[in-house]
Amino acid sequence: MEKKERALVIKKELERLYRNPKPPLNFSNPFTLLIAVLLSAQCTDERVNIVTKELFKKAKTPKSMKALGVKTIHEYIKTCGLAPKKSKAIYETSSILIKKYNSKVPQTIEELVTLPGVGHKTASVVINQAFGQPAFAVDTHIHRLAQRWKLTNGRSVEQTEKDLKSLFPEESWGELHLQIIFYGREFCLARKCYGLECKLCTTLFPKRRSKVITNKA
């Protein structure tokens, strides 16, 4: 089966399993999405939703978030990984949004990645889920599965993103980002399957007998 054929099989199965997938992080506007995605680094979505439930009651805008101060922000998010660093990043990002962007979240990846704590993946999620722009954010699950399915060589996250964008239609990138993540969490886990057990791995590679060792993101 050629790479493009595999991509079609994958897309069809993911659409069957996860039709119209919804973002796992709770947010009400572009700013709260930005903060939620920033918090999700080295933290589960479930934990992020728990801490932001209370945080967003107090602050849903850059101005109200800055008013809390670093220490208070930390009190709300202290159960998230890297909380001290994230508290400072959230405060500084809020300050920059107020001063430079009139309290609005910028709508380009180039501008977003200049904000403290915001990397390419976070920026990609924001422009797609908040503003509807095409983007294919690659996280650890996507990077792992793309290698197990031989859609990329896994040399880097940037290469994986480039390869996936070339295989799937632009209008599907946002949904596929979520669908692959959900599949990786449910069926093709990091310490399970290894390219040998789940339905997609066995369908795509019925003769595979050796574990697939993937490069980490």
Asked if pLDDT for residue 1 goes beyond 90, the answer is: no
Give the pLDDT confidence score for residue 14 in this predicted structure. Answer: 98
By C-alpha distance, which of 50, 76, 216, 91 is closest to 141?
A: 216
Which pTM value belongs to this model? 0.94
**Tens-digit pLDDT profile for residues 18-60:** 999 999 999 999 999 999 999 999 999 999 999 999 999 999 9
Report residue 104: phi and psi, to 5°: -100, 145
Give the pLDDT confidence score for residue 57 in this predicted structure. Answer: 98
Q: Which CATH architecture describes the domain 3-21+136-204?
A: Orthogonal Bundle (1.10)
Q: What angle do CA 43, 127, 138 make, to 5 degrees?
A: 50
By C-alpha distance, which of 53, 54, 63, 62 is closest to 25?
A: 53
Domain ranges of the chain: 3-21+136-204, 30-129
- The pLDDT mean for the chain works out to 97
Which residue numbers are catalytic? 121, 139
Quick one: what percent of the chain has pLDDT higher than 70? 100
Q: What angle do CA 45, 113, 176 make, to 5 degrees?
A: 50
The residues, ordered by sequence, that sit 6+ positions from 11 with a Cβ below 8 Å of its Cβ are 168, 172, 176
**Tens-digit pLDDT profile for residues 120-146:** 999 999 999 999 999 999 999 999 999
**Tens-digit pLDDT profile for residues 98-122:** 999 999 999 999 999 999 999 999 9
Q: Which CATH architecture describes the domain 30-129?
A: Orthogonal Bundle (1.10)
Asked if pLDDT for residue 168 goes beyond 90, the answer is: yes
Give the pLDDT confidence score for residue 217 in this predicted structure. Answer: 82
Please tell me the distance from the alpha carbon of residue 116 to that of residue 198, in angstroms, as a whole number: 38
Higher confidence at residue 28 or residue 216?
Answer: 28
Asked if pLDDT for residue 152 goes beyond 90, the answer is: yes
